[in-house]
Structure 1
């Protein structure tokens, strides 16, 4: 059974609300409430209210146990944007956008099953033998008569130039006479 709650025209930007909604998606309802209660973002308050409303809808309308509820869907849609003007220097006006959001949370009952562990990873040697077996049975490829592709030449960085040698000092007039 599914229970949903929606808050429309909430005065929080959708981008900020999505950060919070991503924290609770897929969590059990009680864990999601705990996460939202201690989340530092301001958007966690309206998202928490929507989650509480969805839990209340599940218990009152569908007689569901709150302990078995899981947040299956949680998303934020963009609402209308209120446009305001802020006066600036030299007669200019900058536009201020006050964005709104539509927050939706959907809860479903899930039987209390033990948490599913990730499947154990196969060892690399098992993968190597599994890959080698099909290749051995494949037919060897016929030579197309093409030469193997040449590798691109690697360009070396130019060597640093040696410091320029100073020219010998000019002979003075006294040295030239002797």
Structure 2
């Protein structure tokens, strides 16, 4: 059987892509079970969000016929930049500084090993 890939995407997540990529690197290439355990004990906001997308990718894989969920491996974790929300912070003497609230698009691809 050909290498079956399944993916899940979470868009517009309120988290900077730079911070999300730090966590994403930790689970790349691991079996799904190991990846879930690592994410569960990683004390970062990104870990929770990537964990949700990973669970979704596994659930998507379960829907396909002939896919053994126990043999799934995290093939790819992409964190792309979403639109940036621009806000202002009032400063002294009537000035204002710009605050950039960044968003991320998180994609997780799982495949059978």
Using structure 1 for the length normalisation, give the TM-score.
0.60
Which has the higher Rg, Structure 1 or Structure 2? 1
Structure 1 residues 86, 65: closer, same or farther in 2, change over 3 A?
same
The answer for the alignment partner of 1:43 in structure 2 is 46
1:70 and 2:94 matched: no
Q: Match of 2:34, SS?
A: helix
Stretches of structure 1 that go unaligned for 5 or more consecutive residues are: 111-178
1:81 and 2:84 matched: yes
Stretches of structure 2 that go unaligned for 5 or more consecutive residues are: none
Q: Match of 1:61, SS?
A: coil
CA deviations 1:86-114 (Å, max 9, x no partner) are 1111000010100000001100001xxxx
Higher RCO (C-alpha 8 Å, min separation 6): 2
- Structure 1: 4+ residue segments shifted above 4 A: none
Separation in structure 2 between the aligned mates of residue 43 and residue 77 of structure 1, nearest angstrom: 13
Aligned length: 110
Separation in structure 2 between the aligned mates of residue 34 and residue 75 of structure 1, nearest angstrom: 19
Q: CA RMSD in A?
A: 0.9
Q: CA deviation at 1:61?
A: 3.4
Q: 1:16 aligns with which of 4, 19, 28?
A: 19
Separation in structure 2 between the aligned mates of residue 62 and residue 46 of structure 1, nearest angstrom: 27
Using structure 2 for the length normalisation, give the TM-score.
0.94
